[in-house]
Amino acid sequence: MTRTAFLAALEQLLAPLPESERKDALSYYEDYLDAAGPENEARAIAELGSPEEVARKILDEQSPQGASAAPASPAPRSRWRMVLGGGLAVLVLACFFFQHSKATPVQPVEPASSAADSSSVPEEASSSYLAVLADTVPLTIPADDLGESTLQIPLEKLDQELKLSLNYGSVTFVTDPSLTSDKYATFQFDNFPHSPVLRTTGGDGRTTLTFEMPENWQVAEDAPEAMLTVTIPADALTRLLISLETGDVRLAPMQLKTLTVALTNGSLRAENLTVTRDLLIELPAGKCMIDHLSIAEYASIAATYCIRLHLDGDPADYTTDARTDDVVRIGNKEYDKRYTSSGSNGTLNLYAKGLIYLNVDEQRPA
């Protein structure tokens, strides 16, 4: 497109504007092409895009609703639903901010490990709460200001890797086929504060969901438990990484190549879990209970309280190193502090302060 044709088209397209605005824009682009110089003119015109595009940007800016600069429009407060399939790199899905301001970050309280019995502890011991630094006043989020949201992500966006990183709330995986679409994984957030869930999707089947409690906020003590429920086919994921600061994780039967679970204050429960390459579990203030675990290569589980596993086959068939401050019980035998074995079924490293039970229930009389 020649300079003359470009400017003529632009002038026509800007007809809706007041004359002074139109003249200003035209003189800007005349200037622009002068400055580019005759030798760069064709390239400069091509880079600007079509006159329609150039004009649309100018008209958008003029129209009152056009400015994309405007702060996020007010959103429904309590319920939001989105189905997103696009390939956007990062989407801040929902930015519902309370009118509160900020101060120091919320700090998870250190687990009361000194007080904790090193043997198995009751369920409630793994629950946790948020506190703030002493010199700040926490802004409490009332229980009725917690909301729900549902997000659907196409399975191909996460078939290589799904990473969940939440500093508040628990996570449950559901693989009930009757609940599962074969195209989307559903992420249901219940009782979460209305602050952004950050979603990062690579074009390569990797998705990360991050939730961070806004600075200096805490949830009211009577708040219902925050829970992210992920509904997904049992074999949809290859790598799953879950990192939580306050909550627990419960996994439905599923098959994975790699599973990493790191819970600062929580426990892990799973059933019929198959991990063909690496299983890494770190529970510095929790316990680990896996009803039926099948590993092929490597598993490392560290839990402060106790580990209870039902392994596929005899623990002696694995290369096992199980260490505890208490006892390792395998079937009806007890080993003080440590149990090792060398087998060909894969490597199993276990460490707990409390009891380690391997295949105990299987040995019970029916």
Contact string (CB under 8 A) for other proteins, positions 196-235, x = contact: --x---xx------x-x--x--------------------
Give the span between the Cα atoms of 254 and 339, in whole angstroms.
28
Residue type (1 letter), 88:
L
Percentages helix, strand, coil for the chain, rounded to the nearest 5?
A: 20, 40, 40
Site membership for other proteins, residue 110 (CB under 8 A)? no
> Of the listed pieces 63-71, 178-186, 223-231, 305-313, which binds other proteins according to CB under 8 A?
63-71
Q: Map the footprint of other proteins across residues 237-276, applying CB under 8 A.
A: 243
Site membership for other proteins, residue 93 (CB under 8 A)? no
Give the span between the Cα atoms of 325 and 353, in whole angstroms.
5
Return the DSSP state at 224: P
Residue length of the chain? 366
Nearer to other proteins, 22 or 308 (CB): 22
Give the span between the Cα atoms of 203 and 333, in whole angstroms.
51
* Among positions 29, 192, 217, 318, the unique one binding other proteins when judged by CB under 8 A: 29
> Of the listed pieces 60-68, 181-189, 270-278, 291-299, which binds other proteins according to CB under 8 A?
60-68
What is the Cα 165 distance to its own chain's centre? 4
Beta bridge partners of residue 300, listed in sequence order: 280, 349
Give the orientation angle of helix 51-62 with respect to helix 19-36, to 10 degrees.
140
Give the span between the Cα atoms of 133 and 206, in whole angstroms.
35
Residue type (1 letter), 210:
T
> Of the listed pieces 48-56, 117-125, 246-254, 293-301, which binds other proteins according to CB under 8 A?
48-56
**Nearest distance from residue 57's CB to other proteins, in Å?**
5
Contact string (CB under 8 A) for other proteins, positions 153-192, x = contact: ------------x---------------------------
> Of the listed pieces 21-29, 109-117, 320-328, 356-364, which binds other proteins according to CB under 8 A?
21-29
Site membership for other proteins, residue 34 (CB under 8 A)? yes
Residue type (1 letter), 348:
L
Give the span between the Cα atoms of 144 and 53, in whole angstroms.
46
Task: Return residues touching other proteins (CB under 8 A).
Answer: 24-25, 27-29, 31-32, 34-36, 44, 47-49, 53-54, 57-58, 60-61, 67-70, 89-90, 105, 165, 198, 202-203, 210, 212, 215, 243
